[in-house]
Chains A and B, each alone.
Chain A
Amino acid sequence: MVSDFFEYAFLQHALIAGLIIGLVSPLVGIFLVVRRLSLIAEALSHITLSGVAAGLLLQKNFALFAGISPLYAGMSFAVLGSVFVEQIRQFYRSYQELAIPILLSGGIAVGVVLIGLGNGFGVDISGLLFGNILAINKQDLWLIGVVAVLVICFILFLFKELFALAFDEEHAVLSGIRGKWIHLLFMIMVAMVISVAIRVVGILLVSALMTLPVATSMQLSLSFRKTAMFSILFAEFSILAGLIFAYWLDIASGGAIVLVSIALLVIVISGKRIYSMVQYRKANVRGES
């Protein structure tokens, strides 16, 4: 297996792309989760589908777009969608989650119509839906890298503002933090991460990469910083293990990655249970003696 890795460029591309996505997905995911917006990732990924479909339609009908990856159109749609999320959130102050079903169904609807118009494009729709990490080429890798650098810089430079807003938006805004702009930029970052992460796990599973590792590390009740670091660790482990399983057992890589991260979550939750049971027993024994 190791020799295969050095022999085939597509395996190297898959691994590098996977590791980059494993770093940036939980990094933006943690802010989505604590702001109770984890389903936003889901909505934006569905909008990306309509964008990719639009990109394919352009590619098919206009020679000008022939050489351009439909991923760019997907990304533009996701970024536009992310701007709309904030707008719709403003309309429903106390029902902010309504933005999600609106965008989610809208994204799928446009996607289905466009795919129909292009007669299916003869492209790998299942690759879009479930990811196809082995098909990642050099051009994709560059795009993933550029997005990663942007996102990492954004999170590092605005970490304290993002934290203050996530913890207590009212207080943060009152103290003078420009919440609206930071949210908007953040949502754009989320959209970009989603549109590149789709290559790895697909539209239907992309939100799992942003939320599952965070959900797992939140079980450990650590500081925010450590929760973020452990989320990244869990995500990287899931991607590595998932890819190895996928290659070894010849199963779908996106599914394997998500299954590993669910397994991690189950292990951490059960571990916690067992630990507290043991502690309880110990305390009882001490109490009796």
Chain B
Amino acid sequence: MGNVLLQMEDVSYSYHHQIVLENVTLSVEEGQFLGIVGPNGSGKSTLLKIALGVLQPKKGKVWLFGSPMKDQKQNYNIGYVSQKSNSFQRDFPATVQEVVAAGLASKKGILRRYMKKDYLLVDEVLEQVGIQDLRKRNIGQLSGGQQQRVFIARALISKPKLLILDEPTVGIDRDSTKQFYDLLNYLHKQHGLTLIMVTHDIGVVSSLVDQVACLNKKLYFHGTRSLFVEKEKELLSKAYNHDVQVIDHHH
């Protein structure tokens, strides 16, 4: 068994007495790629917010990197890419380099300026996500897929142990989405990065990730991809309460 990075035990959460998560027990080991699927309002984003330490669970316990969540101070150990990254101000005057460097701001600490080695690090992560030639371009001039790569780079620059993605391909065209998944696969396989991704895309879950969690308030399934694929129909109809159209990605 590998090193457990994230461990949730019996976690429940509610907004105004409405239960959104109920007794969820889940763990993510180092080097795993966990896909979380579930219908709208199934508590996926809430689960991520708890993992990120933004929300405190009403019940249950969370451990991150082996110590209780409340003792975590170094948020930059987790990289985060949201779907909302697509909706920043398009005219924002900033280059790719500036945006990616912003991912280092917290780690460097207050009163410290970016140095040459920080910009070398920017070049390094841009190369990793395959957009080093866009370094000096303005962020607003890039396509949705390229922008999302910039945000991956911004998340990677602080060298996180865990990368969390919340529906990262919303609003991105089909071809870019395919390339984006290839990038995640590369980061996972080549760099051994641990990833948690919430997605609507069942097709990608059954081909890309190695662990699947199927969520609708409760955890309906948590196991390997092959087990998920085996029981896919039955599980999804249980979690979604109806038949699901599986999006085929031809991977």
Contact = CB atoms under 8 A, between A and B. Distances in A.
Contacts of B221: none
A180 interface: no
Interface size classification for chain B: 35 or more
A175 B105 contact: yes
A159 B105 CA distance: 10
B94 A167 contact: yes
B52 A160 contact: no
A160 B108 contact: yes
Contact of A177 (B84, B93, B106): B106
Interface in A161-200: 161, 163-164, 167-168, 170-172, 174-177
Contact of A163 (B88, B102, B107, B111): B102
Given A171-B154, A176-B76, A177-B105, A218 B98 contact: no
Interface in B133-158: 136, 138, 140-141, 154, 158
A34 B92 contact: yes
Contacts of A224: 93-95, 98
B113 interface: yes
A76 to B, nearest CB: 27
Contacts of B107: 175-176
B113 A218 contact: no
B91 interface: yes
Contacts of A177: 105-106
B172 to A, nearest CB: 17
Contact of A164 (B74, B80, B89, B105): B105
A175 B75 contact: yes
Nearest to B154: A171
A95 interface: no
A160 B157 CA distance: 15
B99 interface: yes
Interface in B201-243: none
Contacts of B108: 160
A272 interface: no
A161 to B, nearest CB: 6
B54 A174 contact: yes
A170 B82 CA distance: 9
A167 to B, nearest CB: 6
A223 B93 contact: yes
B40 to A, nearest CB: 20
B98 A171 contact: no
Contacts of B74: 176
Contacts of A222: 93, 138
A181 to B, nearest CB: 10
B138 A221 contact: yes
A36 B88 CA distance: 12
B85 interface: yes
A34 B52 CA distance: 27
A218 B93 contact: yes
- Most chain B Cβ neighbours within 10 Å, of A163, A174, A218: A174
Interface string B72-88: 01111000101011001
Given A167-B99, A168-B88, A175 B106 contact: yes
Interface residues of A, number: 26
A161 B105 contact: yes
Contact of B88 (A160, A167, A217, A225): A167
B93 A174 contact: no
A158 B93 contact: no
B195 interface: no
B114 interface: yes
B103 interface: yes
B62 to A, nearest CB: 16
B103 A175 contact: yes
Given A172-B105, A174-B80, A167 B85 contact: no
A8 interface: no
Given A171-B80, A174-B80, A176-B74, A227 B93 contact: yes
A163 B102 CA distance: 7
A172 B113 contact: no
B106 to A, nearest CB: 4
A157 interface: yes
Interface in A220-263: 221-225, 227
B106 A176 contact: yes
A31 to B, nearest CB: 12
Contacts of B101: 160
Interface in B94-122: 94-95, 97-99, 101-108, 110-114
**9 pairs of A and B residues whose beta carbons are closest in the complex:** A176-B75, A176-B106, A164-B102, A227-B93, A175-B106, A164-B105, A223-B95, A224-B94, A160-B105
6 contacts: A159-B113, A160-B105, A160-B112, A171-B80, A175-B103, A218-B93
Given A171-B80, A174-B75, A218-B93, 10 more contacts: A160-B105, A167-B99, A174-B80, A175-B75, A175-B76, A222-B138, A223-B93, A223-B97, A224-B95, A224-B98
